[in-house]
Structure 1
């Protein structure tokens, strides 16, 4: 009986779970950590903002002096951003810039456009300003109103994008502890496969899987080492892999995992703790999973779309669940532009384009060799097991690529 998609995804996560631990973390400068995930909680070493500051260009005031409908106050020296201001004396208002520290004694800011006159007086002038009724706290950003010192700023497992790195920089941090990217040994198999740029003989095809998977893995933050294409000789396959696996965390192959007569991966892995099985998914049903000489191993099918779907459905989500990165694919709901059919008892993944009008258009058929259709796509439509027919206009789950 075929394994469910959910069960196989969990099996991949279980396989890789031993790769998460203290030995897999490292300290990196903030920008070098882009796209990786935190290995530990980050506790805020300071509050944000670190001091009460002005939300607007305006006048710092004592609100109680304006509590009865407003009043006229004498204008004193301005408070620029970055300065340490003098305490505010009674009966005065200090011009203050956005982000500047609130002077001691003041508890509110009146925006300059609400003043009469609605402008800052020239420096050194002895002038006054009429200001409206103001409440305590108006236009003041309180210390710690964004985050308080000693609280968790980012939790372990958080994927680090520009916003997260910006927060860490605002907290004064220069480096962060993250999970090191997994090092993947990637191998394409098949006598029929030749590298792009070489002459294409009879019965031969160019290797698209290597480029396709390496690009997907690198986009997901993995370090990829590609091996030469292996033919259908098990001894050659084993020599290639064993010669380079000393610095790898994971071995991934494409092709050679079905039940045909020349399935090199199945033959080479005889005696290893590896299971070759069928997952109830189209495309990407044949899968290999286990350990090769003690190293985690995943065998993906040889058809290009099948191998990419396998990565997106199994390896990428497992990495996100274990290490926090890559972040999950954005998921939306959309309506089909056309009807579709799906085989009974299988979870189908269809290439598609999500249009600007919110309609999802299928690209190509269900065949796993249709690379041009994949290149036109920006999404995968997910058709759950048990659903065999959907009409045009039906709502479906869409993973954005």
Structure 2
């Protein structure tokens, strides 16, 4: 029987074989959803100039001294300052009508709101004079240049995924383009003569190809680009041709199925031919001490342009695909995109760098496979009616004593059969994978569990945190 290797060791093998792709510079309009490849500093201050925070009149504050509704200060109006204009300096003893966001004239140090004058708000001809009915101090209704960000200040760190608000911030600090991490191109291949298209009528012995859709969706949810979903029948010759075709235009190939010890598993058949330097495919398979997802493989496929395109071979059962993608493929995508900051592996593989590891408490008890780390799809749930005190920590990934678990959310497996690799219909309810150490024999109610969040899932929010 083949020796089982720890998940950390296998992920390290996969990551060691990968070379990060080069980033690219793109215009902000094309950068939504991309990941910054470098730290960004402000090119211009925000605001870029001192401007008005109100519609009103730009003045020297000292000249409003003593102003009140009963004793207004009357000033001549020397001109208009619309937004986007460069105003003339303020003549001493005068005011200029100014719009919100407009540049404050040289010599002015305050803005009197139009509501605190005798003038009506809205579009009206420029008045010849204005009554100031309130005393203001220097800086009143004024936004100082650079009070939000100064030129050269850090704005955003490498590794940030660019949202709509992020792009707005980058534009406001004077940037028109940014350097972003590459969008990894991933080709998906499902193996198995029994597979049929979704919705296609099934004949005896056939099943729908759910893994192709699952993998394509996971690729997209992790910020990569799926270049296509293909299938292979159970022959080494057909699989080799499909893999060569998938390698063209891809940076990574991910397959499902065909990695076990069956008589017709095409990937293992293909791997039996030891390749030379000019071989089209090179594959190695191992047994990983994890459940589900024990059989795994990786290697490379030679593309027509001569590139060796890395390939990661996952088991065929859907829950195994989800777990394997989250713990193995996700770190590989991060490595290829240059986002792994040195890499992560093992039970926390695939988790964003710098994020705290979330935890929860088991709302039900279950048994675990001996000698293998278990990854159980779970959903957040209500506490059990009679929760026990936190157990001895056996649910933790490292076997350390559990904390009290006070304030932690509760989770339960999404299916009564736990982490069975074929339980695809229950996967939509899964919000995270609960990690149980290989040395653990059983999980008890109240045990603290480490979680790996699943892409697309939303963690619970406590009402008092809103």
Partners in 2 of 1:72 and 1:254 — Cα distance? 80
Matches within 5 A, 1:132-211: 132-134=135-137, 136-211=138-213
Q: Which residue of the other structure, out of 376, 398, 410, is the alignment partner of 1:350? A: 376
Mark the runs of 5 or more structure 2 residues left unpaired by the alignment. 276-281, 303-307, 341-349, 384-408, 458-466
* Alignment partners' CA distance in 2, 1:317 and 1:151: 31
Taking a change above 3 Å as real, the CA distance of residues 346 and 99 of structure 1, as seen in their structure-2 partners, is farther
* Structure 1 residues 110 and 368: CA distance shift in structure 2, 3 A: farther
- Cα pair 2:89 2:105 within 8 Å, conserved: yes
Partner of 1:255: 257
Cα distance in 2 for partners of 1:72, 1:209 equals: 77
Deviations 1:316-339 (A, max 9, x none): 234235434999498754454434
- Cα deviation, 1:309-363, whole Å, max 9, x if unaligned, reads 2112222234235434999498754454434444354433222334699554431
- Counterpart-to-counterpart distance in 1, 2:173 and 2:104: 20
TM-score when normalising by structure 1: 0.82
- When residues 318 and 235 of structure 1 are mapped into structure 2, their CA distance, relative to the original with a 3 A threshold, is closer
Question: Do the aligned partners of residues 244 and 394 (structure 1) sit closer, same or farther apart at CA in structure 2, a change above 3 Å counting?
Answer: closer
Equivalent residue number for residue 235 of structure 2:
233
Deviation readout 1:239-293 (Å, 9 max, x if unpaired): 2212442332222111122233333212212325533223333222321123334
Matched, 1:295 2:312: no
What's the offset of the Cα at 1:189?
1.0
Structure 2 vs 1, CA of residues 317 and 178 (structure 1 numbering), >3 Å: closer, same or farther? same
Distance 1:341 1:139, change over 3 A: farther
Tell me if structure 1 keeps the 8 A contact 2:21–2:182.
no
Worse overlay, 363-372 or 47-56: 47-56
Q: Does the CA-based 8 Å contact 2:48-2:146 persist in structure 1?
A: yes
Q: CA RMSD in A?
A: 3.6
- Measure how far apart 1:111 and its partner are: 5.2
1:380 aligns with 2:432: yes
Question: How far off its partner does 1:94 sit?
Answer: 4.3
1:227 Cα deviation from its structure 2 partner: 5.2
In structure 2, what is the Cα distance between the partners aligned to 1:140 and 1:381? 51
Structure 1 counterpart SS, 2:240: helix
2-structure distance, mates of 1:236, 1:303: 21
- How many residue pairs get matched? 394
After superposing the two structures, state which structure 1 stretch, 305-314 or 323-332, moved more: 323-332
On the 8 A contact 2:362/2:410 being kept in 1, the answer is yes
CA distance in 1, matches of 2:176, 2:367: 53
Q: 1:35 to 1:89 in 2, by over 3 A?
A: same
Task: Verify the 8 A CA contact 2:189 2:230 in the aligned structure 1.
Answer: yes
Q: State the shift of 1:182 in Å.
A: 2.1
Say whether residues 1:399 and 2:453 are aligned partners.
Answer: yes
Gap change, CA 1:366 and 1:72, over 3 Å in 2: same
Stretch deviating more after TM superposition (171-180 or 230-239): 171-180
Structure 1 residues 62 and 217, CA, compared in 2 at 3 Å: closer, same or farther? same
Q: Which residue does 2:45 correspond to in 1?
A: 47
Residue 330 of structure 2 corresponds to which residue in structure 1? 316
Q: Does the 8 Å contact 1:158/1:324 carry over to 2?
A: no
* Cα gap change, 1:213 to 1:170, in 2 (>3 Å): same
Task: Decide whether aligned partners of structure 1 residues 246 and 320 sit closer, same or farther in structure 2, where only a CA change above 3 A counts.
Answer: closer
CA distance in 1, matches of 2:128, 2:382: 57
- Work out whether 1:283 is the aligned partner of 2:309: no
Which stretch of the first structure deviates more once superposed, 164-173 or 390-399? Answer: 390-399
Deviates more, 1:66-75 or 1:165-174: 66-75
The verdict on how the C-alpha distance between 1:7 and 1:98 changes in structure 2, with shifts beyond 3 A counting, is farther
* DSSP 3-state at the match of 1:338: coil
Contact 1:29 1:176 in 2 (8 A): yes
Q: Secondary structure at the match of 1:36?
A: coil
| 1:20 matched residue in structure 2 | 21
After superposition, where does 1:2-17 map in structure 2 within 5 Å?
2-16=4-18
Shift, 1:79, TM fit: 3.3
State whether residues 47 and 147 of structure 2, in contact with CA within 8 Å, keep that contact through their aligned partners in structure 1: yes
Cα shift at 1:232:
2.0
Q: Give structure 1 stretches of 5+ with no counterpart.
A: none
Structure number with the bigger relative contact order (C-alpha 8 A, sep ≥ 6) is 1
